[in-house]
Structure 1
Amino acid sequence: MTYHRLVSGPANYRKEFAGSRMKTVLCAAAFSLVFAGSNFGIGTASAQDATYSAEEVSQHFKQLKTRSLKPTGQTRALCIGTRDECNPNGAKQEGGQVAVTSQDPDANAGDNQTAETLVVDPDTKAIDEGFNLLVSFEYASARLSTEAKVNLREFAKGIADPELASAVFVIEGHTDGIGSLNYNQRLSEDRAQAVSEFLVSLGVGRDRLKTVGYGKTRPAVADINDPSNRRVESKLVFE
C-alpha cells in the first residue's frame, strides 16, 4: 500500500501538472486568437475606410452653392442644357460630355478671362458638377457593397452641414455600354434608388433627394464600355 501511494502520488501529480499545463497552453492560445482576431478586425475596418471624408463632401457643395448664388454677369454665364449643348465647340476626343472651361468666378470684369459657365440640367435643375459617390454594387444588381455603405455614411454626414440644410440633391445612376439600352436604363434607376434609400435610412430627409437613371447615355469617358462609366453621382439642385 505504501509502495502504491508512493508511485500513485507522483503519477497523479504528473497528471495534474500536465493537465494544468495544458489548460495554460489552451488559455494562452485562446488569448492569442482573440488578440489576433482584434487585429484582424482593425485591418478589415482599415480596408473599408471611406474614400472621401464628410468635410470634402460639404466643402464641394458649399462652394458650388456659393457660386450658384452669385448674380449672372460678365464673370459667370448660365446655360440650361447638357455640357455638349453648352459647349458645342468642345473637343469630342476628350470623351463623354465635354466639360465647360471654368475660370475664377470671383475674377473682376476687367480681367481677360473666359467667363465661367454654370451648366444646369433642364430636366432636373441640377448643376452639372457632380460628386462621384464611388459606390460599388454586386455584379448586375442594385445591392450596395459594404465599401459603398462606408462611403455613403460619410456623404450623409457631409450634407448634414448646417449651411446645406435647405439643399436638395439629385442622385444620378449611370452604367457602361454593356447590355441593352432598356436593361441599363432600369439598372441605373435601381442603383440610384438604392443609394437614395440607404441615405434616407441614415437620416437624410427624403424630400432632399431626387433620383434619376441615365443608363449608358451619359458616359464619363469616350470608351462606353469602360468600367469608370458605371457610377452614381450626386448633384446640387440649382436655387
Structure 2
Amino acid sequence: MTPTVDSKTRHSANRTVLRSAIFAAALSLGLAGLVSVTSPAAAQDATYSADEVKQHFKQLKTRSLKATGSTRALCIGTRDECNPNGAAEGGGQVAVTQENADGQTDTAAATPDAPLVVDPETNAIDDAFNLLVSFEYASARLSTSAQANLREFAKAIQDPDLSTAKFVIEGHTDGIGSESYNQRLSEDRAQAVTQYLINLGVNRGRLTTVAYGESRPKVSDINDPANRRVESKLILEQ
C-alpha cells in the first residue's frame, strides 16, 4: 500500500525546502559580495616594483656619500637657487633629473657629476621618487592602487642596503581651492601615506612628514593635475 501524506504535512515540507533555498541563496550572495569587496585590493598591481625603488635610492645614497667630502658636489638651497639659469628656462621649476613617461625619475639621466641639491629645511636631497599615490576625491583615503604602490615602497626601503636610510614624505596639491584648504589636504594626505608605511612595518623614526600645499608645483601650470602628488626624498646622511 502506498503511504499517504496529508496536505498539511506536504505544505510544511515545502516551506522547509523554500526556507533552505532562500538561506542558501542569501549566503551565496553574501560571500560573493565579500569577494567583490576584498579582491580588487588584493589583486591590484603596483605601478612600480620594489626593485625600481631600491635602484633609485641606492644610487642616490652612493652619490650622496661620495659627495660628502666635496663641497662642489652639493648645493644647499632650493632648485631655483642652485640652478638659476635653469629656473629661467623652466618657468621656475627646475628638474634635477629627467622623468620618463610614467612620471618616475630616470636614474640613468642623473650623471654622477651632477650636483646634489639639498633642501635647507629638511636636509633632503631634491631628487624625488614620485610615489604615484592616488586618493578618493577631496579626501585623504588611499585608493587600492596607492596601497599597492606603498607596499612596494615599504618593501624596498626595508632592504638591508637602505635599512638605516631616512626619508621625507612630501604632500603637494594643485592650485584648485583655497590656499588654506590645499595646505590642510596636503598635510592629511602626507600623514595618511606615512601612517600606512608605519602600519607596514617601517620604523616611524625613519620618516619625516611635510606638507607644502600648492606652494611647490611640479609644473608651471599650478592647476595641472601633475601637481597633486606625494613624493619621497632621501635625507642626506651627516
**TM-score, scaled relative to structure 2:** 0.75
- Give the equivalent residue in structure 1 for 2:143: 146
Write the letter of the residue equivalent to 1:68: S
Contact kept? 1:52, 1:154, Cα under 8 Å: yes
Q: Secondary structure at the match of 1:164?
A: coil
RMSD of equivalent CA atoms: 3.6
Contact kept? 2:142, 2:192, Cα under 8 Å: no
Residue pairs, 1:39-118, within 5 angstroms? 44=40, 48-71=44-67, 77-90=73-86, 92=88, 94-95=90-91, 97-100=93-96, 104-105=111-112, 115-118=113-116
Q: Which runs of 4+ in 1 moved over 6 A?
A: 36-43
Larger Rg: 1
- Give the equivalent residue in structure 2 for 1:190: 188
In structure 2, the CA distance between the partners of 1:198 and 1:37, relative to structure 1 (3 Å rule), is closer
Deviation at 1:91, TM superposition (A): 5.1
Contact kept? 1:96, 1:219, Cα under 8 Å: no
Write the letter of the residue equivalent to 1:63: Q
Contact kept? 1:76, 1:116, Cα under 8 Å: no
Contact kept? 2:133, 2:149, Cα under 8 Å: yes
Deviation at 1:41, TM superposition (A): 8.7
Query: Any gaps of 5 or more consecutive residues in structure 2?
Result: 5-24, 98-108
Which of 161, 164, 174 is 2:159 aligned to? Answer: 161
Deviation at 1:62, TM superposition (A): 0.7
- Give the equivalent residue in structure 2 for 1:108: none
Q: Secondary structure at the match of 2:45?
A: coil
Deviation at 1:138, TM superposition (A): 1.7
**TM-score, scaled relative to structure 1:** 0.75
Aligned residues: 224
Query: Any gaps of 5 or more consecutive residues in structure 1?
Result: 9-28, 106-114
Q: Distance in 2 between matches of 1:65 and 1:98?
A: 21
Residue pairs, 1:31-42, within 5 angstroms? none
Q: Secondary structure at the match of 2:183?
A: helix
Q: Distance in 2 between matches of 1:74 and 1:206?
A: 31
Q: Distance in 2 between matches of 1:52 and 1:127?
A: 21
